[in-house]
Amino acid sequence: MVRIYCVANQKGGVGKTTTAVNLAGAMAKAGARTLLVDLDPQCNATSGLGLQPTASHPLVACEPLRQGVRQSSLPGLDVLPGTRSFCDVEALTREDRNQTARLREQLTGGFNAYDYVLIDCPPSLGPLTRTALACSNEVLMPIQCEYFAMEGLAQMIEVIRDVMQSEPNQLQFGGIVLTMYDHTLELTHEVDAEVRDFFGEIVFRTVVPRDVAVAEAPSHGRTVLDYAPRSRGSRAYAELCLELLGRT
């Protein structure tokens, strides 16, 4: 049965898209049929895998999901590209119950061909993020190991709880991922301790370190596992993938 993960955080620059792309790549390398859905109008998940944003988003055009899916250079990993079209973005983010229901039906209708689906959300609490949460089995939340890591977290958790209540037995809190981890900084250890003390076992044991290879990989249209397989970042995402799959 397909497992659908929503990678979300209302705060930008926390490694959300980087985590979605590299986790999807790690899952594909583990032999799983994987789909990465780019719902962020910035389209970084799309371009980070060497693909071009679509001129017209299939979710707006009401096309079957399979018609919009593209193959990445990594075997086993497909991508539903995002769009930078202002009209399409506006249509996707419209506050409308019928629109939300239609998007959910379109998204979930094309997922059965995959083992795992990861949805990269925009850095907001808007309709796209809420729709992605409503379509998902679990939500993964990357948190940057810096001073403002906890800022806005209560709002994000409140939105997740709202979706859990409206979709009983559907969505679970999959976990929190600590990103941009610098072992040499006291602040990093303070944030780590605070997050783990508050959230407990929800926080993944694996942390994603600051690594230049992780930052460079998207400019080459590749995951860090392909770009620099022996790097610390590559090892971290491989271990995070194994830890995540071990929880299912």
pLDDT tens per residue across span 86-142: 566 666 666 566 666 666 777 767 788 899 999 999 888 888 888 888 888 899 999
pLDDT attached to residue 62: 66
Averaged confidence pLDDT in the chain: 87
pLDDT attached to residue 33: 96
Q: Please state whether beta strands 138-144 and 77-80 pair in parallel, antiparallel, or not at all (unpaired).
A: unpaired
Q: Are 66 and 113 in contact (CB under 8 A)?
A: yes
Gap between the Cα atoms of 34 and 77, Å rounded = 5
pLDDT attached to residue 179: 95
Q: Please state whether beta strands 70-71 and 77-80 pair in parallel, antiparallel, or not at all (unpaired).
A: antiparallel
For tokens 């209540």, the residue is 165
Band of residue 223 on the pLDDT scale cut at 50, 70, 90: very high
pLDDT attached to residue 88: 66
15-19, 112-116, 170-174, 204-208 — which is least confidently predicted? 170-174
In the chain, the number of structural domains is: 1
Domain containing residue 113:
3-247
Tell me the per-residue pLDDT of 52-92, one tens digit each, with 9 for 90 and over.
998 877 777 666 777 889 999 999 999 999 887 756 666 66
pTM of the model: 0.91
Q: Residue 122: which CATH number?
A: 3.40.50.300
R_g of the chain computed on alpha carbons: 17
pLDDT at 28 over 70: yes
Q: How large is the average pLDDT for residues 190-200?
A: 90
pLDDT at 47 over 90: yes
Gap between the Cα atoms of 240 and 51, Å rounded = 25
Gap between the Cα atoms of 69 and 232, Å rounded = 31
